Structure 1
């Protein structure tokens, strides 16, 4: 299945940059950022399965394989991969499963399998589950907007993110209902990631106001990936590209251009 995606016009032989969205969003979360990168890069932003315009069919899949197939479809040999939260986890899985396709990683508050959730993350997960079990999708949407967007995010940003999260819940809950009725549902493959074997330049970015869990994940990745750098943004919560897109554009341009002054918050 080909992922729905935006493919900004290729600037000649410009290097490719792949933007992978967070699990509370879809590819539209990159709208405030992507246009500011296209003068220097070939920018691709897909919707992963169950998000945005990409369906969630009842079959086995790995997000990393879906992304590699998209790069094949677009004729892209390799890309710098920018992943936010869940998209950061997919970026790491792509690097582990298809290492030749990734030349650089920028991970914004990434997720990672195998790291035990902290108390605050468990509380959010339990509250979300309780709301969804009770049929309160709007309550679950509000919970995630409050949890994952910093206080400085604009009202329009909050409304846009709420629309993305609401749609994702609808698609994913419908897939769950179909699986209960038919016995056939989506079957995501768990991809092992050996951080010590990642061999591309890696920048890990965390937010000082994010959940403790994601801050610990960022520290763990930065400690374990050889040569990785870690920057904590003092103003950021979980989604800095939506909270202060201009600051994230600057950070990405510096990182992706290999600027010697890179990573200054």
Structure 2
């Protein structure tokens, strides 16, 4: 009897999250779910999203400063509840129309239940925003990654293993000083969403694999102090963390890993990490 009850509970859990995502979008395609997911990739359309459960979260968008009730599809439905991530996956890379590639732990998504919002305070918005309950979960505001997690114009969700993708790219080269290892953590928390390193990361900003070959230390510090990410609500690292980041990027450039130098930037804004 106990075994039968356990089987019934498992069956209920498997069915309670609803049907699997479609392989072909119903209506205009909105988002693609790809990567290490069984049966994927999946194309999700407007009609598919309209048929799914919705949820509202109260939060402040760090990009615009807007405080609102954000309503939309729970992200967990799209990357966990209605798909089957393959064994060993632990991260979702949220890709946007502006070229960012935002890595978010699956455990954080399941715990905090952000939404792919299409309405704020009951009114429709022009593009879907990945909205977080940072007014309901005070600890979110202390995480340096959370500002980048508010992704605007989400177009794809890529399910991956952190170590097999970003972890390898962000590892400090063998023999690098301890400060480089600290800088690796800073890059993963603050930079990787917009910048590529060793062929991993976002494409909104320039590739930084060889940035320490084309910029002086003083120029790098100047760019960090005036980093354009401030306009997106993302606070760049302080002086000590910036030194850690420089040490890491210097070690990567010296090791010559991940391809040759990028083309010289055309402006200081374009060159900023």
Q: TM-score range by the shorter chain?
A: under 0.3
Larger helix proportion, structure 1 or 2?
1
Name which structure has the greater RCO, CA cutoff 8 Å, separation 6+: 1
TM-score by length of 2: 0.25
Structure having the higher strand fraction is 2
Structure-1-length-normalised TM-score: 0.25
